[in-house]
Structure 1
Amino acid sequence: MAGSFLGPFIQGAFLFTAAGRLDLPRAWLFLAVSFIWMFGNVVLVALTNPELLNHRGEWKKKKDAKAWDRKLLPVFALFGLYIIPVAMGLDVGRYHWSNLGLWATVLGTLLFTLGWTVITWAMLVNTHFETTVRIQTDRNHKVVTTGPYAFVRHPGYLGAALWALGSPLIVGSAYGLIPAAITVSILLIRTHLEDETLRAELPGYTDYAQRVRYRLLPGIW
């Protein structure tokens, strides 16, 4: 839980250090929106699904997590939580490579908000929304079909992709979209691998996949 609260401050430290200045209103907006949503997410999940927070916080202890996910997860965190803020800071604060207009801030805030809404919704209905990919036999792992899972099979990754793309837009950074795109690519790989794992190892998932055809985007994939 502490990590969720510290996340925006750590991102802010990377962003402003890279920028070399503090007078960046849209960067402060990004951090404010990040803190509000991360705080709200933790509070809502703590009130409705507190067991999940404990399991997510103990992800390093999950010895049965898939080996490929133990490799992908740090790369995702590196790009999503650190390289994106550094790129944004270098772009809009230090070198002024780009300066997207107000439209980008509005669009980015909408994408970020939608992304965290989807993530939070998924966490509220799915008690198996752990940090790493594994078949949770110790927790009576079952297929979840309600909430956002009625529309796509991996709504958490959809939400993460939206906040990754929305973050640099809030700040007005075009170059921040480069690591954001890499982050989304990592999410696509993780989605594919997790989906194959669940099809092979989780009873009932294949039938669910036949009913809910799309992994991330209805009508596309």
Structure 2
Amino acid sequence: MVTRLILQSLAWLVAMGVLLFGAAGTLAWPAAWWYLIELAVLSLWLGLWLARHDPALLAERLAPLVQAQQSRWDRPFMAAIWTVWCGWLILMGFDAMRFRWSAPMPLWLMILGALCVFVCIVICRFVFRANSYAAPVVKIQASRGHTVADTGPYAYVRHPMYASALLFFVGTPLQLGSWWGFVALPVMAYGMGWRAVREERLLAEQLHGYTDYMARVRYRFVPFIW
């Protein structure tokens, strides 16, 4: 399992590097190197923690993004979000290095971006600790005895992982030094919100106790806002 974790993480990081540096037209992009190094360290830290504390969840996290039990609407959504993701990385490479469309990012904002990415991954650890069914795809995991998660961050918002993803979406263009990277944020935030609503409908219909949980925890992403 650990070997698979390392290989998949490495493949993903290499793919991101190809998109970023290919769009930038140069390997001399320190911000992108630091970004990839941070993701590598944090991903390994989180993955090794999962391997020790919840190997079943790690297996779910390493599973393909298209699965037989996955909701039908989630398959085209995943294809769309990964297409946007790849285009986003290419846009930031064009902006920050190749064409330099926007003004240079202040160093303190780039550091803030790295902090946002760090906090996102730390929140994910708390999410995984509270919810052993936090698969990357939308499905009911009946074979694993799927139950409602309502402790930890789930006691405050219904989708803490999506909420943490918003930090990641803000932190990435900051750390990479691309103002144009913020153009994609409304699209990605809307996509996460749309998916959260559809996922809740499925859980309310098929997962015992989820309707009561929705009544207890009113907010999806941010307390007192939405």
Provide TM-score, normalisation by structure 2: 0.91
* Candidates 83, 87, 93, aligned match of 2:97: 93
Cα 1:79–1:61, aligned 2, differ >3 Å: closer, same or farther? closer
- CA–CA separation in structure 1 for the residues paired with 2:204 and 2:40: 35
The answer on whether the counterparts of 2:29 and 2:97 sit within 8 Å (CA) in structure 1 is yes
Is 2:190 the partner of 1:185? yes
Is 2:69 the partner of 1:64? yes
The answer on whether the counterparts of 1:109 and 1:166 sit within 8 Å (CA) in structure 2 is yes
Which residue identity does 1:75 align to in structure 2?
A
Secondary structure of 2:184 counterpart:
helix
Aligned positions of 1:43-122 closer than 5 A: 43-59=48-64, 62-80=67-85, 82-98=86-102, 99-122=104-127
TM superposition outliers: structure 1 runs of 4+ over 6 Å: none
Which residue identity does 2:123 align to in structure 1?
V
Which residue identity does 2:101 align to in structure 1?
W
- CA–CA separation in structure 1 for the residues paired with 2:132 and 2:65: 18
- CA–CA separation in structure 2 for the residues paired with 1:177 and 1:61: 28
Cα 1:22–1:156, aligned 2, differ >3 Å: closer, same or farther? same
Secondary structure of 1:121 counterpart:
helix
Secondary structure of 2:22 counterpart:
helix
- 1:165-194 per-residue CA deviation (whole Å, 9 max, x = no partner) reads 211110110111222432222111111111
Is 2:32 the partner of 1:27? yes
Report % sequence identity: 33
Count matched residues: 220
Is 2:44 the partner of 1:39? yes
TM-fit CA distance, 1:160: 1.8
The answer on whether the counterparts of 2:65 and 2:136 sit within 8 Å (CA) in structure 1 is no
Is 2:219 the partner of 1:208? no
- CA–CA separation in structure 1 for the residues paired with 2:206 and 2:71: 12
TM-fit CA distance, 1:58: 2.9
Provide TM-score, normalisation by structure 1: 0.93
The answer on whether the counterparts of 2:65 and 2:78 sit within 8 Å (CA) in structure 1 is no
The gaps in structure 1 that reach 5 residues or longer are none
RMSD: 1.6
